[in-house]
Structure 1
Amino acid sequence: MSIRRYEERQRASRYTMKLICWNINGLQSKNLRLRTLAVCDVINTEHPEVVFLQEVIRQTFLMLKKECPHYTVLQASDKDYFTAILLRKSCVTVEEHVVHPFPTSVMARKLQTVKCIVNNVQCYLMTSHLESMDSHDEERKKQLLVALQAMENVDKDRAVIFGGDLNIRDKEITDVGGLPDNILDLWEITGSRPEHQYTWDYWQGQLNHVKVAKETRFRFDRIYLRRNARPSLIPTNFKMVGLEKLSSCHDFASDHWGIMVTFAIRRR
């Protein structure tokens, strides 16, 4: 990249913010190194300020730190598999990093939070990998309610973003009474485009290696925004990443599509 183009992108990035959210399938050992390198390539190409990752393992955590040197990589654990938050060093100031275990989780799931400033916007960032599988729906709903309450409890001057592999079904959202009025589902608020709806999708050939019904399509991965009192982040675009098979191994980077959201930053 030329110096001029780099400087232009840096100036533009002061007034926008990108966030990628992705379950990177670290528990699947097949082509793990090549797939993780592909994730790193997406991050380094798209240059988001913030990245939420789920299903990270120690091997892939070390790769992320090495291959994404412009990012601070914060982990929720150092055991088994866990979430991680990547923050671009040049434009994010970290104030606090806290991990909250869900006390009744049987899968050691946690809520990872970062209090920070992104491009001069005060933010509170949250990610999680909520309890998996149909049979754990009650625990998953409990975890979702904890996260939503945490979003509402944050200082009203901060923009709050919560995203991850929530494993949630629309019925479960209804079961917990729906989203609070001040929390926005970013897929919905950016137009509910059907081509960017399902992040775990047999129809697209993504799950051909998994024994699931051919009609299987879920919007497991979601991102929510609680605007601050004087809204600073305006969601302008929502799309998926990781949609193409890798030439290196003829596999997708993950069994989930990643989500990338772009925000305009409202200057005071």
Structure 2
Amino acid sequence: MSLDDPQIIDDEQQDEKLSDHDNDKSLSSLTSDSSNECPYNDDIASKVSTAFAKATGIDIEFAIQLLKDHGWNIDQALKATYEAKEHAQLIVNMKQNWKDSNEKYFKILSWNTDTTDTDEVEFNELIQQRTETMIEILLREKPDVILLQQVGTFALTLIITCLSSLYDDESIQIDSSNNSNYISIFTRKSSIKKKNVSIIKNSENWNMLKIEIEYKNSINIDLFNAFIDENTYSYCFEQINKTNPNHIILFGISSQISDTFWNSHIINLDDLWEKTNQRPETTYTFDPELNSNINENDKPQRYDRIFFRSLTSMNNQFKPVHMELEGIQHIKTSDIIFPSTHWAIQGYFDVNN
């Protein structure tokens, strides 16, 4: 049978028709979801969704979800799309000046990676892709201190391997019952001397990591990293408040605690966001409106925070000057998936030795 055989051509054309039919069927199943009834028939809904995705430059599934969320009102969906893009661009623009003066400041980055191990191969592949993007961001930013929460074994291994030439690291399990969920502290070798490592724990096997460091041979800092809930909240801050009064404190924290629960009398530390002008674009680290990794329809939350305590005796020698969000870029293999369900927080401190 030759390559010009009409039977082969007919078969190929039939395959193309079947492929197109499958795509239409896939779009149809997405657009006909009864969770937000579409006013169009399947054919028109598919065309509207495809055109909307092309016009806005977003993934087709994300386009359909946006249209559903706004009752298939194209104007409202467009407005939401462009507002999200403008918000992201604003964050990028405002960060640029701080990038240009990178070496002048002490930098600390805290990030809930949401990379807990899973037995599903498909999810593990996605975790690898997300982690690779995280590593790119960490190597680009090169903060002096990196605090990571909810890190799975696989992701942690990748991160340690890729950062080992620049950073020392310490990691512990968040709790003894879950041996594949870690918190980690990375300290930059060129600027930090690690002096002591300890684990703070309660009777219910909850763990917090503490590292005492010396920054540029002159400033003593106690680093803390933890994932907390309402049950461990008070104990956590009680332990931190017992630390050496002659040391600066830097504490990265992730939680699922709502804003109304926080009690300043218990904390007795400064909140970096509050001390850097509380800029609206840096408020929420868990934001279902902007982060398509999040499947819930919850309100945006400030689940992730950096707390600090400077010393009055230092006369503003270690002063917070800026805070920004990182991790707002998509992973390389997708135009819809972000590195984590949480944005990272990066803080800048002005240091005068």
With normalisation by structure 2, the TM-score equals 0.63
1:248 partner letter: T
User: Which residue pairs with 1:102 in the alignment?
Assistant: 202
Distance in 2, matches of 1:158 and 1:35, equals 35
Q: Which residue of 2 aligns with 1:192?
A: 278
Q: Which residue of 2 aligns with 1:261?
A: 347
Larger CA Rg, structure 1 vs 2: 2
Q: Counterpart of 2:214?
A: 117
| 1:36 paired to 2:131 | yes
Answer 1 or 2: higher relative contact order, Cα 8 Å, separation at least 6. 1
Counterpart for residue 227 of structure 2: 129
Aligned partner of 1:90 in structure 2 is 190
Pairing partner for 2:106 from 17, 32, 45: 17
Note the alpha carbon deviations across 1:191-250, whole angstroms, 9 max, x for none.
Answer: 111111111111113344x2x22x521100011111124234211110000112123233
Corresponding position of 1:168? 257
Partner of 1:73: 169
Q: After superposition, what is the alpha-carbon deviation per residue over 1:30-74, rounded to whole angstroms, capped at 9, x for unaligned?
A: 511111111111111111000000111221121112111211121
Query: 2:200 and 2:207 mapped to 1: Cα distance?
Result: 6
Which one has the bigger strand percentage? 1
Counterpart-to-counterpart distance in 1, 2:156 and 2:192: 20
Secondary structure of 2:311's aligned partner: coil
Q: Where do 4+ consecutive residues of structure 1 move more than 6 Å?
A: none
Contact 2:273 2:283 in 1 (8 A): yes
Match of 1:218 in 2: 301
8 Å CA contact retained: 1:129, 1:165:
yes
1:152-182 Cα offsets, whole Å, 9 max, x none, are: 22222210011121322222114x74532xx
Q: Which structure's residues are more often helix, by fraction?
A: 2
SS in 1 for 2:148: strand
Residue type of the partner of 1:247?
K
RMSD: 2.2
Matched, 1:179 2:179: no
Identity %: 19
- Give, as a single letter, the amino acid of the residue that structure 1 aligns with 2:167: Y
Q: What is the CA–CA distance in structure 2 between the aligned matches of 1:159 and 1:46, rounded to whole Å?
A: 23
1-structure distance, mates of 2:134, 2:143:
13
The residue type paired with residue 198 of structure 1 is: Y
Partner of 2:318: 233
Indicate if the aligned counterparts of 2:238 and 2:266 stay in contact, CA closer than 8 A.
no
Contact 1:234 1:265 in 2 (8 A): yes
SS in 1 for 2:238: helix
1:101 deviates by: 2.4
- 2:179 alignment partner, SS class: coil
- Bigger drift between 78-87 and 216-225 goes to 78-87
**Pair 1:204 & 2:290 matched:** yes
Q: Partners in 1 of 2:245 and 2:332 — Cα distance?
A: 46
Q: Which 5+ residue runs of structure 1 have no aligned equivalent?
A: 1-8, 132-136
Which residue is 1:150 aligned to? 239
- Structure 2: stretches of 5+ with no match in the other structure: 1-98
Give me the whole-angstrom Cα distance separating, in 1, the residues matched to 2:274 and 2:339: 25
TM-score of the superposed pair, with normalisation by structure 1: 0.82
What residue identity is the alignment partner of 2:323? F
